[in-house]
Structure 1
C-alpha cells in the first residue's frame, strides 16, 4: 500500500488554514528542542550579517572542524549538508544498487529518496505489540534475500525506541556479511549521545551515519545536517553535492550551537526528566498506550474504539495544539499519534486537553 510522504512541523500551512498566526499554535507535531536554540546562536547570527555579502564557504571548513572536535573524529570523515534530508536523497544516487530494505515504521523520506532514484523499496516491519524491538536474527534472515541498502533510524522515528550500541554493532556486522550498504540515521541520538555508533562506522566504507542539527539544536529553519563515515565514503558523497548547499547562516549557527556545552547538558537533563513525566501522565489517561522512548517525543496508541488519531488531531487543533497523526507511517494505522516533549506548562495543556477528549 502506498504511503503518503507527509511530515510533522507543517505549522505554517495549518495556521494559514485556520486563519491564525503560527505563534498561536503549540506544535507537538515537530520534535524540536523545547528549550529553543542555544543562547549564543542569535548573537552569532547577528554578528555574521555582513558575511551574507559573500558566497558561503563551499566546504564549510570551520563547521567541519567544530563537528570533528565535538565528535572526536577527523574532519575528513564529515560531510555537511542542507539538513540530513539532502543526504538521504543523495545516497541512493551516489552508491550503486537497486533493492533497499527500510526498517519501519520510519521517516517517509527514505522511501521517497529511493523511489526517485529508481530503487525497489521493501519494509522490515517492527511490531507494536513487541514495542518495536528490532530482532537481529529476523533482520539477518531478511537481508539474506539480497538487499543493496538498509535504512535504519536510531532512536526510531516515530516509535522513539533505542537500539543499544552493541545491537547496532550487530546490525553493522550483518550488513557487512550480506554486502548491504548501511544508512544509519541518528537524527535524534543527541538526546542519548552515549549510544551513538559514530565510531563504529569509520572503518567501514559501506556504512554512513546521518546526523541532524534540526532537532537537538533547535534550528530547523536553517536546514543543517551532516554525515559521519569513512573518508572515502564522505568523498563520494561530497562529489555529488550541489555547490553552496549549506548557507552562511546555517554554518554560523552550527558552530555557535556546538560551542555551548552547558546548553547541551541542560537540554539532555530537561528532556530526559520531562519525557518521563509526560509518558507517565499520558499512560494515566484511560484509553491511551504510551510506547517507551529515548528521544524528545513519544508515540501513543489510542485504545478507545471509535477514536482515531485524525479525529483527535482535529479536536486538539481547535484548542490550538497540533499533534502528529501517524497513520501514514508504514506499519501504523489510525490509532497512532506522536507528541513532542515541550515545556512543562505546554505539556500540561496537552494532557488536560487529551483527558477531556477521551473522558
Structure 2
C-alpha cells in the first residue's frame, strides 16, 4: 500500500497556486521557532562565505563537538545528517529486519522509509480519548508478537503530547529485552529538553535517538539533524551515509545556534507562555477541542458536524493563513488539524479567522 506523503510547510507551492508571494501567507502548518533563527546565525553564515570554496567537513567534527558539549555526550555518539529525515530513511536500510511497529499517529516519513526498504509496517494506535497517552504495558504485549524495529516520537507529532521520561525508560527496556531496534524521534524535545531520553539511549546499541535543528533553531532551509546513539551504532549509520550530506552553511549555522543559550532560554519561555495562551483561546472557540501539548504546536479537533479540516484549511488560505490538515496521519480523521505557535499578533489573526469560519 502506498504511503500518503504530505507535509506541512509547503508554503512556496501553495503561494504559487494562489498567485501570491510566500511572505503573504502566515504558515501555521510548519512548526518552526516563532522567534526565528538565533541572532548570531546570520553573522556566522556571512563570515563563512569563503569556506564555500572548499568541500564541507565530511565528518562535521566541529559541529559534533558542539553537539556533544550541548548534550553531555561524546562526539563519537553523534551522527550528523541532512535533516533527521535523512536518518529516518537510512535506518531501515542500515539495520536489517522485516517487520516494524509504528506508534501512531506519526510522521509519515517513518512508514515511507520502511516501505521503500521493503519492510512490513504495522501500527500501535494511541487514542484521542485519553489525549494519546502511551500504555507501556499494552505496547509490551504488542512488541512480544515480534517486531524488528519500533518507531516512537516524543513529543508526539502531530499530537504534541509528551510521554513522561519514566514511560520512555520503560519502552527502552522492553525493546532491549525483546531485541527490537528502537527509533526514538525527539525532533521537538528541545522545547522541554529536561525530558530527553538521550542518556538512556546511548547505553543501548539497539537504539537511536533522532534530533532536528529545523524546529527549535529555526533553520529548516538548511536541512540539519542528527542522531544520538551508542558509538558503535553511530559508526554503522555513518558508514551508510552519502559523502558531504551536510553542507558547510548548515554546519556553521548549527554551531552558532548551539552557542546562544540566551536564545534557547527565550525560546522556551516564549513558547511555553504563548502556547498556553493560544490553547486557552482555541478552547474558547465553539466547536473546537484542543489537545494538551509540550511542543511549539497544538493539535485541534473540529467537533462541529459538516466541517472538515480540509474545508477549514481552504477557508483560512483565502485569508492568508495556512493550517495543517491532519487527515492523512495514520489514526486521525478529517476532523483534526494542527497549528504552530507563532507570534502573538499572528496567533490572534488565526483565532479571529477560526471564530469567523466556525460561527
TM-score between the two structures when normalised by the length of structure 1: 0.99
Within 5 Å, give how 1:80-99 maps onto structure 2.
80-99=80-99
User: CA separation in 1, counterparts of 2:93 and 2:155?
Assistant: 25
Tell me, which stretches of 5 or more residues in structure 2 are unaligned?
none
Counterpart for residue 132 of structure 1 = 132
Rate the CA distance shift 1:3–1:283 in 2: closer, same or farther, 3 A.
farther
User: CA separation in 2, counterparts of 1:2 and 1:86?
Assistant: 20
User: CA separation in 2, counterparts of 1:252 and 1:203?
Assistant: 29
Counterpart for residue 108 of structure 2 = 108
Shift in Å, 1:2: 5.4
User: CA separation in 1, counterparts of 2:55 and 2:310?
Assistant: 44
Counterpart for residue 204 of structure 2 = 204
Shift in Å, 1:96: 1.2
Counterpart for residue 257 of structure 1 = 257
Counterpart for residue 351 of structure 1 = 351
- Cα deviation digits, residues 281-304 of structure 1 (max 9, x gap): 000001000000000000000000
Counterpart for residue 275 of structure 2 = 275
User: CA separation in 2, counterparts of 1:94 and 1:143?
Assistant: 21
The DSSP-based 3-state class of the residue aligned with 1:32 is coil
User: CA separation in 2, counterparts of 1:4 and 1:235?
Assistant: 32
Runs of 4+ in structure 1 deviating by more than 6 angstroms, as ranges, are none
Counterpart for residue 55 of structure 1 = 55
User: CA separation in 2, counterparts of 1:68 and 1:268?
Assistant: 21
Q: CA RMSD in A?
A: 0.6
The DSSP-based 3-state class of the residue aligned with 2:205 is coil
The DSSP-based 3-state class of the residue aligned with 2:208 is strand
Counterpart for residue 228 of structure 1 = 228
- Cα deviation digits, residues 337-356 of structure 1 (max 9, x gap): 00000000000000000001
Residue 195 in structure 1 maps to residue 195 in structure 2 = yes
Counterpart for residue 145 of structure 2 = 145
Residue 46 in structure 1 maps to residue 59 in structure 2 = no
Shift in Å, 1:262: 0.0
Within 5 Å, give how 1:233-244 maps onto structure 2.
233-244=233-244
User: CA separation in 2, counterparts of 1:131 and 1:66?
Assistant: 36
User: CA separation in 2, counterparts of 1:224 and 1:344?
Assistant: 27
Counterpart for residue 329 of structure 1 = 329
- Figure out how many residues of one structure are paired with residues of the other and give that number: 359
CA contact (8 A) 1:3 1:328 kept: no
Shift in Å, 1:319: 0.1
- Cα deviation digits, residues 134-169 of structure 1 (max 9, x gap): 101110111011000000000000000001111110
User: CA separation in 2, counterparts of 1:265 and 1:219?
Assistant: 17
The DSSP-based 3-state class of the residue aligned with 1:123 is strand
The DSSP-based 3-state class of the residue aligned with 1:163 is coil
CA contact (8 A) 2:151 2:185 kept: yes
Greater mean alpha carbon deviation, residues 326-335 or residues 170-179 = 170-179
Shift in Å, 1:312: 0.2
The DSSP-based 3-state class of the residue aligned with 1:122 is strand
